Amino acid sequence: MWPACTMNETTTSSFSSKLKDYKELTKFTLSFTVVFTCVICYLLAPNVVSYDWKMIVLLFVAGMLITGSANAINQAVEKDTDAVMKRTASRPVAAGRMSQQEAYTFAFIGGLLGVLMMWHFFNLSSALLSAFSLFLYAYIYTPLKKINSIAVLVGAFPGALPCLIGWVAGQDDFSAGGWILFGIQFIWQFPHFWAIAWVAHQDYSKAGFKLLPADKGPTKFTALQALMYSVLMLPIGILPNYIGLTGHVSMWIVIAANLFMVWQCARLYKYMDVQSARRVMFSSYIYLPIVFLALLADKS
């Protein structure tokens, strides 16, 4: 009996480890956040008048497959650079627990299945937009990070496209509401990502990534750029109310959230330290759920 017990424990442990590796490969928490905004934007579409949980779950699963596919390709491509950075060295491909081929195979199957789900259960436009977003992230943004800091601008497009994908999935058109929601998440990414790049600057520099707007690293120029984009979030944040997509309550919540981001970025500009950058980073993490849930709760 003892050998059987040991074998069962080993099998369970191996399965658990593999599951954990796939969770890291897909960057589950990041993917969840991205797909969360996609689902919220789907529910914000005027054509979606009730919560059909079957469709919500299908959209969530398709989104996780597509986003997970993009992240898997990213980790397969950046295997060597991930290995030299402290924050990414334990990722499954970088650490050697998973082969590049396995990561690419998962990415191909997951991405294809996710896009086909978008086509079958929603519409062709959302499927094509999903495929374009995956391609842009995995094959344009990922290699560009080592060439020029414009990669952050390029990466902001696939980072915000889930909002438009969700809207198109529900509305089956590219109307103003979808572009406004896209714009909110697009602009948000700049102070968010520059704060991350500020905190992890040494690691990124070691890997050869060029992600800050200034060649000399964390500078006043970088902090000023983050502050400028946070200020730009203010007028964009009131547009959902302006076009009648949401009510006045959410508008004031969004304004308050935007002013909080401006304050955090202003602190970064004043103090120019990692602690202030970390405050911007964590503030941006809580910004998205507050803003998008407020918009959904106040849908007109």
pLDDT at residue 14 in the model: 83
Q: What are the boundaries of each domain within the chain?
A: 21-173, 175-300
Q: What is the pLDDT of residues 100-126, one digit of tens each?
A: 999 999 999 999 999 999 999 999 999
CATH architecture classification, 21-173? Orthogonal Bundle (1.10)
Instruction: Assess contact for 172 and 45: CB atoms under 8 A.
Output: no
Structure-token match 């002013």, residue found: 259
Top pLDDT among 181 and 84 is at 181
The contacts of residue 67 (CB under 8 Å, 6+ apart) are 26, 30, 31, 34, 35, 162
Mean pLDDT of the chain, nearest integer: 93
pLDDT at residue 9 in the model: 57
Top pLDDT among 10 and 74 is at 74
Residue 246's SS3 state is strand
Q: Which CATH number fits domain 175-300: 3.40.1350, 1.20.120, 3.30.460, 1.20.1300?
A: 1.20.120
pLDDT at residue 1 in the model: 46
Q: What is the pLDDT of residues 209-218, one digit of tens each?
A: 888 887 777 9
Report whether pLDDT(10) > 80.
Answer: no
| Angle at alpha carbon of residue 110, lines to 71 and 22, rounded to 5° | 55
pLDDT at residue 13 in the model: 66
Q: What is the pLDDT of residues 131-167, one digit of tens each?
A: 999 999 999 999 999 898 899 999 999 999 999 999 9
The model carries a pTM of: 0.92
pLDDT at residue 2 in the model: 46
pLDDT at residue 157 in the model: 97
Q: How many CB atoms lie within 10 A of CB 241?
A: 20
The contacts of residue 222 (CB under 8 Å, 6+ apart) are 194, 198, 212, 213, 214
